[in-house]
Chain A
């Protein structure tokens, strides 16, 4: 029972363009959503979060959008840089505990 889904296993974009990573969830009780970034042989690192009372949160080049009615969130990276190439995990929880993760999307930013 995968409550958080990332349907695109991979995404390739050109340097300088926008990267859009998508995530869908099924549990309407989730009220806290996060994105993590993971490089090979390292643990995931926190990138950005959003609570259910907001529909947008921005941090530099990274913006997360939340559409509660569609149970959908997305991560926008503008402009994309080669160093952004990594696996991105979407996560959701009720509160900040028992966090559920998606399967991840591998982003490749080409110079």
Chain B
């Protein structure tokens, strides 16, 4: 499968603390995405990147920031975690034309 890894796989953090999730790809894809998955909502786009230092907001970007300093790494930061940010976070890269996105295995984040 495409080389895309997320870290950590699981994290428990306290309300108000900063948290950074990492997505790393070895496919040299230009586009990278961060989604969150919640029951009843499916996957919702948080932020995406279309190149180094080029990022844009998705439909649920409030409370999140991202950075892309290298093609292979896309970081998602929760500046001050809240309980509403408890979710499973997926990173994705755009696959071959017509092939949709390739997703990482996800990070389960719990904010207590």
Interface residues of A (CB under 8 A from B): 2, 4, 6, 34, 36, 41-46, 49, 51, 89, 91, 96-104
Contact = CB atoms under 8 A, between A and B. Distances in A.
Contact of A101 (B43, B104, B105): B43
Nearest to B39: A103
Contacts, number: 58
Contacts of A49: 98-100
Interface residues of B, number: 27
Best-surrounded residue of A49, A51, A104 (most CB of chain B within 10 A): A104
Contacts of B39: 103
A104 B58 contact: no
A36 B48 CA distance: 19
B84 interface: no
B27 to A, nearest CB: 14
B67 interface: no
B100 A104 contact: no
